[in-house]
């Protein structure tokens, strides 16, 4: 049993946790910080599937756990638009003025560690207006957003340098260790107060404050902690949908100007909000594992030699549930499990032509298809056996609308991978220092439902680090 006492324990070494540690230690070098991470250190993070094309079910998954969390093998698209509409809700907690300042500062840290200086979405007003007009004509809302693209291999390099810097600063890192429980005691007014954490090997670590940044990967565990210790949460939305893969020529105009398009569509039949997300020009569709569950995702490389001929992006339907239902994560998991049941725990793929006609895509049809899947072990199948009717229709109506902006997208050969689910729906109730109703327990990033992307998760960490050192 450890009796170590720290100023701060950070659970999870994803971008939100890393930037908390970095900013806090920078502002006050005397603080003792321990970061506990269930995955591996960055140099030991290797995804065999990247070279062999076959997932060997690493436990825990190297794509979503380890130093820099879901960041190191991500596509590394940093949303740097200061209106705060993209990648989370941080602006609603810190205000737009502070948001702009923290954005510039955090972007500066990425640049310092080697991020590309090019920003997409900053140029060619004539083409921008043409895209905006076509979007408007198709009833699509076009959210103009600037993007700095790190690229998958470059993101890994940048986070490797950040790990070195974190170590150099004297922040203690404990890898391959999962926090399984909180240590609580009664505060002076009978309220609960956190004093430390217990890890899966039975060790106990104590600190004045605990910051939890466990990402989507840890959101189920965090929910169980909320249930156990009565940590206040609010029912959020759940985003469910699929990943679309098309010929890169279909999206080329948008890719070259914006790198990715943030498009929102309200469907004609159900008036559901559908949005494009995580756009990967000339990239690859990838598989993300949540515990044993395979769901779709995507990324792209910076290196020209590693680029493909296809572009992929997610098409997500945002569902907000009302009373009495309060388990959106469970709902998302249920649909993902259904897909996995049919595919033997793999991602399903279907041609759009088959999806519309209500027939299964089999190996024969897939081989003849005019584009080939970049996710090589995706299983050809029938998504209509997985997605509820409402989601199916939302996806079809959205693809038809997007086809006005990107002619060819609604062609039979476009591929649909399913399912893609975003598990950031369990939003914790926090005050303006991201503290929960438990004294000294702060939460941040995707796992707390506050952010949905690299930049805002990193910014959330910067805010936290400043708040904890009184430099906010
Ligand atoms: C394949 C992929 C591609 C992506 N591409 C992009 C992109 O291009 N642009 C973008 O903006 N966003 C992208 N994202 C999303 C982005 O990676 C996340 O928004 C961001 O990493 C969230 O940061 P975080 O710190 O909140 O959580 P995470 O990065 O998820 O980190 C959480 C960490 O906590 C650890 N953890 C969980 N539970 C425990 C526990 N109980 N004990 C100890 N440790 C624990 C996990 O192992 C993990 O390392 C992508 C995500 C994926 C998976």
Ligand 1 close to Cβ of residue 308 (< 6 A): no
| C-alpha of residue 196 to centroid of ligand 1, in Å | 23
d(CA 119, CA 114): 14
Ligand 1 close to Cβ of residue 77 (< 6 A): yes
Ligand 1 close to Cβ of residue 11 (< 6 A): yes
What angle do the packed helices 328-343 and 219-229 form, to 10 degrees?
140
**Residue 250 backbone dihedrals phi, psi, to 5 degrees:** -65, -35
Ligand 1 close to Cβ of residue 87 (< 6 A): yes
Ligand 1 close to Cβ of residue 36 (< 6 A): yes
Over residues 432-455, mean pLDDT: 95
What residue spans of 215-279 are helical by DSSP H? 219-229, 248-258
14-23, 58-67, 114-123: range with highest mean pLDDT: 14-23
| C-alpha of residue 69 to centroid of ligand 1, in Å | 4
According to DSSP, residue 370 is labeled: S
Side-chain half-sphere exposure of 278, counting CA atoms within 13 A: 29
- Which pair of tokens denotes residue 22? 């970095």
d(CA 384, CA 389): 8
Q: Residue 426 belongs to what H/E stretch? A: strand 426-428
Residue nearest to atom 46 of ligand 1 (CA): 65
d(CA 288, CA 309): 22
- Which pair of tokens denotes residue 194? 């956190």
pLDDT per residue as tens digits for the range 63-94: 899 999 998 787 788 998 777 778 888 999 99
Ligand 1 close to Cβ of residue 464 (< 6 A): no
| C-alpha of residue 225 to centroid of ligand 1, in Å | 19
Average pLDDT, the chain: 92
d(CA 403, CA 453): 26
pLDDT per residue as tens digits for the range 103-142: 999 999 999 999 999 888 777 778 888 888 999 999 999 8
Ligand 1 close to Cβ of residue 445 (< 6 A): yes
Residue to mutate, 453, 455, 459, ligand 1, most ligand atoms under 8 Å from C-beta: 453
pLDDT per residue as tens digits for the range 137-179: 999 998 888 889 888 788 999 999 999 999 999 999 999 999 9
Residues 6+ apart with CB under 8 A from 189: none
| C-alpha of residue 406 to centroid of ligand 1, in Å | 31
Flag whether pLDDT at 328 surpasses 80: no
Flag whether pLDDT at 224 surpasses 80: yes
Q: What is the dihedral of CA 60, 63, 67, 70, to 10 degrees?
A: -120
What is the per-residue DSSP string for 155-219? HHHHHHHHHHHHHHTT-EEE-S--EEEEEEEE-TTS-EEEEEEEETTS-EEEEEEEEE--TTTTH
Give 434's pLDDT tier (boundaries 50, 70, 90): very high
Give 33's pLDDT tier (boundaries 50, 70, 90): very high
Instruction: List strand residue ranges (DSSP E) for 267-414, in order.
Output: 273-280, 284-290, 293-299, 310-320, 348-351, 379-380
Between strands 262-266 and 273-280, the pairing is antiparallel
Ligand 1 atom at minimum distance from 461 CA: 25
Ligand 1 atom at minimum distance from 448 CA: 26
CA 161 from chain center: how many Å? 22
Residue to mutate, 37, 64, 70, ligand 1, most ligand atoms under 8 Å from C-beta: 70
| C-alpha of residue 353 to centroid of ligand 1, in Å | 34
Residue nearest to atom 5 of ligand 1 (CA): 74
Flag whether pLDDT at 2 surpasses 60: no
Do residues 178 and 120 make contact, with C-beta atoms less than 8 angstroms apart? no
| C-alpha of residue 32 to centroid of ligand 1, in Å | 24
Q: In angstroms, how far apart are the furthest CA atoms of the chain? A: 70
Global pTM exceeds 0.85: no
| C-alpha of residue 216 to centroid of ligand 1, in Å | 6
Whole-number percent of the chain with pLDDT over 70: 97
Ligand 1 close to Cβ of residue 283 (< 6 A): no
- The sign one gets for the Cα dihedral 198, 199, 203, 209 is negative
Closest C-alpha to 424, from 144, 128, 206, 219? 219
Over residues 446-468, mean pLDDT: 95
Domains, the chain, with CATH or none: 5-115+151-234+425-468 (3.50.50.60), 125-145+237-422 (no CATH)
| C-alpha of residue 84 to centroid of ligand 1, in Å | 19
| C-alpha of residue 172 to centroid of ligand 1, in Å | 20
């Amino acid at each position: 049993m450890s009796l170590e006492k720290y100023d701060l324990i950070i659970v999870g070494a994803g971008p939100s946790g890393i930037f908390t540690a970095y900013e806090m230690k920078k502002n006050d070098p005397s603080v003792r910080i321990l970061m506990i991470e269930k995955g591996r250190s960055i140099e030991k993070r290797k995804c065999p599937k990247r070279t062999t094309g076959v997932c060997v079910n690493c436990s825990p998954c190297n794509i979503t756990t380890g130093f820099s969390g879901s960041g190191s093998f991500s596509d590394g698209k940093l949303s740097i638009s200061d209106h705060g509409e993209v990648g989370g809700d941080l602006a609603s907690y810190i205000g737009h003025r502070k948001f702009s300042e923290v954005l510039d500062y955090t972007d500066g840290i990425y640049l310092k560690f080697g991020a590309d200086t090019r920003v997409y979405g900053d140029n060619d007003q004539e083409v921008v207006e043409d895209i905006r007009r076509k979007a408007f004509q198709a009833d699509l809302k076009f959210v103009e957003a600037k993007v700095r693209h790190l690229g998958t291999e470059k993101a890994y390099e940048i986070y490797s340098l950040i790990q070195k810097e974190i170590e150099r600063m004297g922040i203690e890192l404990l890898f391959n260790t999962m926090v399984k429980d909180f240590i609580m005691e009664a505060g002076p007014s009978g309220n609960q107060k956190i004093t430390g954490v217990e890890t899966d090997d039975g060790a106990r670590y104590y600190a004045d404050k605990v910051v939890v940044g466990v990402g989507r990967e840890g959101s189920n565990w965090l929910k169980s902690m909320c249930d156990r210790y009565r940590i206040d949460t609010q029912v959020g939305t759940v985003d469910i949908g699929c990943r679309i893969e098309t010929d890169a020529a279909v999206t080329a105009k948008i890719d070259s100007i914006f790198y990715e398009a943030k498009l929102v569509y309200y469907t004609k039949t159900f008036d559901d909000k559908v949005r494009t997300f995580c756009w990967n020009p000339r990239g690859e569709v990838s598989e993300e594992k949540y515990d044993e569950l395979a769901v779709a995702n995507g990324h792209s490389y910076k290196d020209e030699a590693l680029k493909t001929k296809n572009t992929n992006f997610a098409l997500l339907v945002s569902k907000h549930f009302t009373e009495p239902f309060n388990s959106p994560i469970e709902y998302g998991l249920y649909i993902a499990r259904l897909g996995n049941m049919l595919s033997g725990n793999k991602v399903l793929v279907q041609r759009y032509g088959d999806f519309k006609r209500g027939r299964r895509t089999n190996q024969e049809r897939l081989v003849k298809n005019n584009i080939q899947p970049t996710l090589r072990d995706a299983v050809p199948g029938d998504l209509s056996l997985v997605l509820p009717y409402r989601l199916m229709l939302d996806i079809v109506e959205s693809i038809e609308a997007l086809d006005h902006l990107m002619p060819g997208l609604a062609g039979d050969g476009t591929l649909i991978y399913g399912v893609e689910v975003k598990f950031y729906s369990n939003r914790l109730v926090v005050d303006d220092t991201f503290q929960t109703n438990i004294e000294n327990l702060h939460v941040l990033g995707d796992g707390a439902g506050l952010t949905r992307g690299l930049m805002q998760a990193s910014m959330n960490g910067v805010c936290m680090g400043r708040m904890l050192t009184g430099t906010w």
